[in-house]
Amino acid sequence: MKFFTQKNYSKLLIIPIILLLIFLVLIFIYPSIEKGIDLKGGNQIIVHYPDQKDFSNLEFALKNNYDLTEVQINEVKSLSEYGLLIEFSLQNDLEIAKAARSKLNFDLDLATLQLEVSSILAPLVTADLLTTNEVSFVNLVKNKEDLKLSLNEALILTNNNFYAKITTLVTTELNLGSDAKIQTREIAPTLGKDFVNASVKVGIVAFVLLTLVILLFFRELVPSGLILFAVIFDVFAALAGMAIFNISLSLTTIPALLMLIGYSVDTDILLSTRVLKDVSKNPINSANSSIATGLTMTITTMSTIIVMLVISYLSQMLVIFEISIILLCGLVGDVMSTWFFNAPALIKYAIKKNHKN
């Protein structure tokens, strides 16, 4: 069976271009991708338990007792287990206190500053997030530097106390014992910001290195450009999948995207090598002979990923589940980009080149 023929190959090019436009809409316009809590900062509690539980009180209790601006509770079910994924924002009073701290003017004298710090911390004591003992430092400190340090620590402590209260509330509301399967995450917004910066840096350097490596191996501008385009296309396909399945960008999904680059580039390199290195042969034939190999590779990988997907779904291993979805979408994208884009474009290029010779 011949997939590429003299007539059809250049028409195939239109498919990936339309798809790319759709991906861009999905990623940036609707439904678009959100940043996960490890990139934007926030709190998350995941609990697993064997029997169904009524959690309608929980949301009410959380909102009522702790004045939370944002609470999200999602139930996750699998064959063997139930689970809740709870995400919540920082506590309101704490947010206000933090804002007030950043506005503090440390040029004022110590006595005035002590008064100001007391008034910043007072609502936190009222909200039962700090004990009077924990704010006693305000009157004990000897200099401004100590005041600044202790205030900083008091705010971290507040968040800590707040978080402990919420987790206790969740475990008692759901009647979870000491052997509860629980996973908690509390990411400071500053850490999230640093993660984003580092990820961007890694992404840029990785792309530059990738370009250099491909140029080094193929030493021809057009085929290298085509491979890079295919890789970008696959990443966008995966991102579009994330947007559709409501998977956020996080420290677990970024590796999945990088993993995808490794997988998707294999088939493109295979294709380019066969079409370009066998100069004596007809590029269309070379491309056709690559399809069987390339598809075997992709299908094998896809089937292992489907295994991952099913098992991680059944056992509620959210991280692996998300990674599987991303890889699967990316690999579907890879079939498009390699055989509907890279192959026809490469055939065109090779035929032109052969004519020149």
Partner 1 sequence: MRTLLKKPIIIFWIILVLSSILLLSTIGLKFGVDFSGGTAFQVILEKPVATDELSQAASILGRRLDWSGSKDARVTPSGNQYISIQIAESDPAEIASLKSALLQQGNFEAVLDGNILFSGDDIRTIYKDPSRGYGITEITKGVDYQWALPFLLSPDAAKRFAEMTFHKCTPTGFAGDTSDDAYDCEKTYFFIDRPKDAIILIDKITYLDEKEVPLIPGIYSSSFPIEDLFDQLNVPYYIVDNNLTDNELASLTSDFNSYSKIILSPNISSEIKSKLDEIGFRQINILKQENVPWIWDATGLKSVISITSGIANMDVSTMESSRFKTFSELHVTGRADSYESSQARLDDLLLVLESGSLPIAIESISTESISPYLGKDFLKTSLLIGIFALLTVALVLFIRYRYFSLAAPILLTGTTEILILLGLLSLMHFRLDLAAVAGILATIGTGVDDNIIIIDELLRGHKKEDREHHESLLKKVKKAFFIMFAAAATSAATMFPIIFFSLGLGKLVGFAVTILLGTAIGIFVVRPVYAQIAQRMISKDHK
Site for partner 1 in 23-82 (CB under 8 A): 48
Provide, rounded to whole angstroms, the least separation between the CB of residue 40 and partner 1: 12
Tell me whether residue 100 or residue 261 sits nearer to partner 1 (CB atom): 261
Provide, rounded to whole angstroms, the least separation between the CB of residue 307 and partner 1: 5
Instruction: List Cβ neighbours of 294 (8 Å cut-off, separation of 6 or more).
Output: 267, 270, 271, 338, 339
Tokens for 21, please give them.
Answer: 């436009």
Residue 11 binding partner 1, by CB under 8 A: no
Q: What gap in Å lies between CA 88 and CA 45, rounded to an integer? A: 9
Provide, rounded to whole angstroms, the least separation between the CB of residue 25 and partner 1: 27
Q: What gap in Å lies between CA 286 and CA 274, rounded to an integer? A: 6
Provide, rounded to whole angstroms, the least separation between the CB of residue 351 and partner 1: 18
List 57, 65, 118, 300, residue binding partner 1 (CB under 8 A): 300
Q: What gap in Å lies between CA 329 and CA 33, rounded to an integer? A: 15
**Nearest residue to 237 via CA among 338, 326, 297, 340:** 326
Contact region for partner 1 (CB under 8 A) — 25-33, 104-112, 185-193, 337-345? 185-193
Backbone angles phi, psi at 10, to 5 degrees: -75, -20
State the binding string over 216-255 for partner 1 (x if CB under 8 A, else -): xxx--------------------------------xx-xx
List 64, 126, 168, 354, residue binding partner 1 (CB under 8 A): 168
Q: What share of the chain is helix, strand, coil (3-state, %, to 5)?
A: 70, 10, 20
Tell me whether residue 123 or residue 217 sits nearer to partner 1 (CB atom): 217
Tokens for 234, please give them.
Answer: 């696959």
Tell me whether residue 8 or residue 296 sits nearer to partner 1 (CB atom): 296
Residue 91 binding partner 1, by CB under 8 A: no
Tell me whether residue 50 or residue 56 sits nearer to partner 1 (CB atom): 50
Residue 179 binding partner 1, by CB under 8 A: yes
316: left (phi over 0), alpha (psi -120 to 50) or beta: left
Provide, rounded to whole angstroms, the least separation between the CB of residue 251 and partner 1: 5
- The residues in 135-164 that bind partner 1, with binding defined as CB under 8 A, are 148-149, 152-153, 156-157, 160-161, 163-164
CB atoms within 10 A of CB 225: 16
CB atoms within 10 A of CB 209: 10
Instruction: List Cβ neighbours of 185 (8 Å cut-off, separation of 6 or more).
Output: 37, 38, 43, 44, 45
